[in-house]
Amino acid sequence: MSDIQSAVPAQHVHRDDVGSRMGVWLFLFTELILFGGMFFLYSVYRFMNQDAFHLAAKELNTLIGTFNTAILLTSSLTIALSIVAIRNDNKKLSIFLQLITLVLAFGFLVNKFFEWSAKFQHGIYPGSELLLAKEKGEILFFGLYYVMTGLHGLHVIIGMCVIGWITVYTIKGKINKDSFVKLEGAGLYWHLVDIIWIFLFPLFYLIT
Amino acid sequence: MIENQNTHEAHAHSYGIYILVWLGLLALTVVTVTVAGLNFGALTVGTALLIASVKSFLVLKIFMHLNVEQKVFKVFVGVALLFIVISFALLFADYSFLRV
């Protein structure tokens, strides 16, 4: 260590990375309650309207759903790798991987936009005449579909904001090889968004 | 080493395991889409949920670092998941026998 560095008094930094991560996990548990409640609702309505759910699910585009699953899984990989990169002191790669995550997240939303637009054009949207004319179970299916994938989409948007903010921090050097807990927290949130989609996908797109 | 703080270790951190898990997740997605095409009857939902659970387990353990996290994290996640399972069990203990 150089003389200049050693002359600087050791800074006393109050930092508890384990505590910070635990804080994020506790927040994720509240998210689990939020989505859990909706999964309860879904399971009971599906149990009571099995045939109608199967019929309604045929309207959904399995291909676009599968594609979005792959996109979200890949974005989960890139955010996880960006943590490895910053730990290896490879700032440029970490920033690049965070930006790729943002691009993939945006791609997910673009797909979602086209998917919903197609539904709207076919006259299937909450409260539409065509939908209300359908059987009760099908109305419930599409209600749950719009609320659950909509809320998930909102989480994707929030996740993008958080990751964008983290990327700025990384560029500024506030997130670096010795202090990257903020990036870890954003990553944890993003992985939860991914896990929720892992369950939404088969429950809405793969009922045949 | 300062307690409870991320520190920079000298050895390089590996990218390999994450890429491996990602490939596994994509493979399981292909499996779940393929299986949904077959008709397993009542088992279809169960198979889909089983595959989704395996995928979530991989994400939790590797991507979310539960494999290297302190034990208290695993206990917390375990308790949270246990309560979801209990809630579902109670929910269907009720609805399975509902006559309408």
Does residue B27 lie in a domain region? Answer: yes
Residue in A77, A90, A188, A208 to test binding to B, most B beta-carbons within 10 Å: A77
Q: What is the pLDDT of residue A3?
A: 47
**B60 and B99 co-located in one domain:** no
Does residue A2 lie in a domain region? Answer: no
Whose structure tokens read 């034990």?
B71
Does residue B7 lie in a domain region? Answer: no
Does residue A9 lie in a domain region? Answer: no
Nearest to A202 among B39, B52, B88 (CB): B52
Q: Which chain B residues have a beta carbon less than 8 Å from that of A53?
A: none
Confidence of residue A165 (pLDDT cuts 50, 70, 90): very high
Contact B17, B67 (CB under 8 A): no
Contact A156, A108 (CB under 8 A): yes
Does residue A173 lie in a domain region? Answer: yes
Does pLDDT of A113 surpass 90? yes
Percent of chain B with pLDDT over 70: 89
Does residue B80 lie in a domain region? Answer: yes
Three-class secondary structure of residue B7 per DSSP:
coil
pLDDT digits (tens, 9 = 90+) for A75-109: 999 999 999 999 999 999 999 999 999 999 999 99
Nearest to A181 among B6, B37, B55 (CB): B6
Does residue B4 lie in a domain region? Answer: no
Does residue B82 lie in a domain region? Answer: yes
The secondary structure of residue B12, as a DSSP letter, is P
Q: Which amino acid is at A34?
A: L
Q: Give the mean model confidence (pLDDT) for residues A9-26.
A: 85
Do the Cβ atoms of B29 and A69 come within 8 Å?
A: yes
Q: Give the mean model confidence (pLDDT) for residues A135-158.
A: 96
Does pLDDT of A9 surpass 60? no
Does residue A7 lie in a domain region? Answer: no
Phi, psi of B99 (to 5 degrees): -110, 120
Q: Which residues of B2-39 are buried (b: 16+ CB within 10 A; e: fewer)?
A: eeeebeeeeeebebeebeebbeebbebbeebbebbeee
Q: A30 CB near a chain B CB, below 8 Å?
A: no
User: Which domain does A132 fall in, by range?
Assistant: 17-205
pLDDT digits (tens, 9 = 90+) for A21-68: 999 999 999 999 999 999 999 999 999 999 999 999 998 999 999 999
Does residue A45 lie in a domain region? Answer: yes
Alpha helical stretches, state H, A88-180: 91-121, 129-132, 136-172
**B43 and B55 co-located in one domain:** yes
pLDDT digits (tens, 9 = 90+) for B69-78: 999 999 999 9
Does residue A12 lie in a domain region? Answer: no
User: Which domain does B47 fall in, by range?
Assistant: 14-69
**In chain A, what is the straight-line distance between the N-terminal and C-terminal CA atoms, in Å?**
66
Number of structural domains, chain A?
1
Nearest-CA distance B66 → chain A (Å)? 11
Confidence of residue A192 (pLDDT cuts 50, 70, 90): very high
**B18 and B44 co-located in one domain:** yes
A97: domain CATH number is 1.20.120.80
Size of chain B, expressed as the number of residues it contains: 100
Q: Which chain A residues have a beta carbon less than 8 Å from that of B80?
A: 29, 32
Q: What is the pLDDT of residue A203?
A: 95
Q: A184 CB near a chain B CB, below 8 Å?
A: yes
Does residue A5 lie in a domain region? Answer: no
Do the Cβ atoms of B52 and A66 come within 8 Å?
A: no
Q: What is the pLDDT of residue B11?
A: 63
How many whole angstroms separate alpha carbon A59 and alpha carbon A128? 15
The secondary structure of residue B11, as a DSSP letter, is S
Q: Which chain B residues have a beta carbon less than 8 Å from that of A198?
A: 52, 55-56, 59
Residues 90-129 of A with CB under 8 A from B: none
**B47 and B93 co-located in one domain:** no
Nearest-CA distance B8 → chain A (Å)? 5
Does pLDDT of A4 surpass 50? no
Does pLDDT of A2 surpass 60? no
Percent of chain A with pLDDT over 70: 94
- Alpha carbon B73 to chain centroid, angstroms: 15
Q: What is the pLDDT of residue A40?
A: 96
**B56 and B80 co-located in one domain:** no
Interface size between A and B, measured as CB pairs under 8 A: 124
| Rounded mean pLDDT for each run of 10 residues along chain B, 100 residues in total | 65 87 97 85 85 97 95 96 94 83
Q: What is the CA radius of gyration of chain A?
A: 21
Q: Give the mean model confidence (pLDDT) for residues A113-119.
A: 95
Q: Give the mean model confidence (pLDDT) for residues A146-168.
A: 98
Do the Cβ atoms of B64 and A191 come within 8 Å?
A: yes
Does residue B9 lie in a domain region? Answer: no
Does residue A187 lie in a domain region? Answer: yes
Q: Give the mean model confidence (pLDDT) for residues A147-167.
A: 98
CA torsion through residues A52, A53, A54, A55, sign: positive
Q: What is the pLDDT of residue A1?
A: 42
**B30 and B64 co-located in one domain:** yes
Q: Which chain B residues have a beta carbon less than 8 Å from that of A44?
A: 91, 95
Number of structural domains, chain B?
2
